[in-house]
Amino acid sequence: MTNTAQRWVMTSTAEPLMAESFELPSPQAGETVVEVAGCGVCHTDLGFYYDGVRLKHPLPLALGHEISGRIVAAAADVKAEIGSAVIIPAVIPCGVCDLCKRGRFVICSQQKMPGNDIHGGFATHICVPAYGLCPVDEQRLARAGLDLADVAVVADAVTTPYQAVVRSGLGEGDVAIVIGVGGVGGYCAQIAHALGASVIAIDVDQAKLDVISDHGAALCLNSRELDFPALKQAIRGFVKDNGLRSGEWIIFECSGTAAGQQTAFGLLTFGSTLCVVGFTLDKIEVRLSNLMAFDARVLGNWGCEPGHYPAALNLVLDGKIQLLPFVEQRPLREINEVFAAVHSGGIKRRVILVPEQ
Ligand SMILES: [Zn+2]
Ligand SMILES: [Zn+2]
């Protein structure tokens, strides 16, 4: 291992991301150093960079929290095989506080998010807590036709909806409605399908609907073409024609838009569960009493606890979640062009930035 490394740091919202060299730290107690194989570009990164969403760590800071790589160093107290492949959780809980002891890992107040609390994965190397690292079986990875960089998106884009699906209690025979089938929602639809639900996908982007119709969605509805009553009628008709449940729909709001949230709330029916997976600062007006009248519930979801990562990765390695139609690899040195293109909507797939090795 060389002891110099490189990362691309944000210095302000006005300046391009800049490459800087840094000396590889020796891992402190509980830490590992991971050589980055790939790091996904998430809308959260764009929010920090373009919209001035506040970072917890002062600038300059390397962004990026969807990271896969190989352990190249570990503190003496860490049991880790040097050279082994891992996925770094997007949010790393401390594992020892009262919240963690009670299983509330994702709201651990000591949690570390790479690219927010600590330097992130748009780098050749990253120093992270070893807690919660998800091992990757490289033989299964190869059999699935994937490389280590591809599974970077498991940290966040795949695991966030995975936790939402698990929490919803979704199982065989359920009707799942996924609103927004982009980066996160596309995986949400695949996960719900893999776990036995009939999946209805709703989006404003026909191209995204066309992709997901080949990957688990039984019905795709374009909400740019259908107004809300027509949308609801189409769902009712589909459910009836296929002998599916007329209630208890499990609705995943993954668009992170006010319009998507309005649609999601409007689709609540008896016994429904609404999972809020996407984020927006916008507000919507709803009649909250519908929850009471329908005996329905709304669940929030922040990230995913590390304990769910191996099961989510299994779905990927078993081919039940397809990654390749949804991702594209680009060299890390193109980070500024990639950020601009993702921001302007010029790249539809999730970009995974890969450092030159
Ligand atoms: Zn993210
Ligand atoms: Zn904790």
pLDDT in tens, 259-282: 999 999 999 999 999 999 999 889
Q: Identify the burial level of 271 via C-beta atoms within 10 angstroms of its C-beta, where 0-12 means exposed, 13-18 middle and 19 or more buried.
A: middle
Q: Kindly list the protein residues that place their beta carbon closer than 5 angstroms to ligand 1, a single-atom ion.
A: 42, 44, 156
- Give the helix ranges, DSSP H, for 256-302: 258-266, 289-294
C-alpha 314 – ligand 2 centre gap (Å): 26
**Rounded CA gap, 264 and 185, in Å?**
13
C-alpha 3 – ligand 1 centre gap (Å): 29
C-alpha 287 – ligand 1 centre gap (Å): 30
Q: Going by DSSP bridges, is the β-strand pair 250-253/273-276 parallel, antiparallel, or unpaired?
A: parallel
Helix or strand (DSSP H, E) at 258: helix 258-266
Tens digits of residue pLDDT in 19-66: 999 999 899 999 999 999 999 999 899 999 999 899 999 999 999 999
C-alpha 271 – ligand 1 centre gap (Å): 30
**Rounded CA gap, 91 and 116, in Å?**
10
Tens digits of residue pLDDT in 230-267: 999 999 999 999 999 999 999 999 999 999 999 999 99
**Rounded CA gap, 47 and 351, in Å?**
16
At 86, list the tokens: 């891992």
Model confidence at 1: pLDDT above 80: no
CB 65 within 8 A of CB 87: no
- Which ligand neighbours the alpha carbon of 120 most closely? 1
CB 157 within 8 A of CB 87: no
**Rounded CA gap, 66 and 58, in Å?**
20
- Which ligand neighbours the alpha carbon of 101 most closely? 2
CB 39 within 8 A of CB 352: yes
C-alpha 351 – ligand 2 centre gap (Å): 31
- Which ligand neighbours the alpha carbon of 91 most closely? 1
- Which ligand neighbours the alpha carbon of 98 most closely? 2
In the Cβ-directed half-sphere of 26, how many Cα atoms lie within 13 Å? 3
C-alpha 87 – ligand 1 centre gap (Å): 14
**Rounded CA gap, 209 and 200, in Å?**
10
Mean pLDDT of 164-176: 98
- Which ligand neighbours the alpha carbon of 94 most closely? 2
C-alpha 113 – ligand 2 centre gap (Å): 13
The 8-class DSSP code of residue 153 comes to G
- Which ligand neighbours the alpha carbon of 96 most closely? 2
**Rounded to 5°, angle at Cα 53 from 160 and 309:** 15
pLDDT score for 281: 87
**Mean confidence (pLDDT) of the chain:** 96
70 pLDDT band (50/70/90 cuts)? very high
**Rounded CA gap, 356 and 345, in Å?**
26
Q: Return the percentage of the chain with pLDDT > 90, whole number.
A: 94
Mean pLDDT of 121-146: 97
Q: Return the percentage of the chain with pLDDT > 70, whole number.
A: 99
CB 129 within 8 A of CB 112: yes
At 113, list the tokens: 């998010």
C-alpha 66 – ligand 1 centre gap (Å): 7
C-alpha 303 – ligand 2 centre gap (Å): 14
pTM: 0.94
Coil, helix or strand at residue 61: strand
C-alpha 157 – ligand 1 centre gap (Å): 7
C-alpha 102 – ligand 2 centre gap (Å): 9
In the Cβ-directed half-sphere of 200, how many Cα atoms lie within 13 Å? 25
**Rounded CA gap, 243 and 60, in Å?**
56
pLDDT score for 2: 57
**Rounded CA gap, 31 and 76, in Å?**
9
C-alpha 156 – ligand 1 centre gap (Å): 5
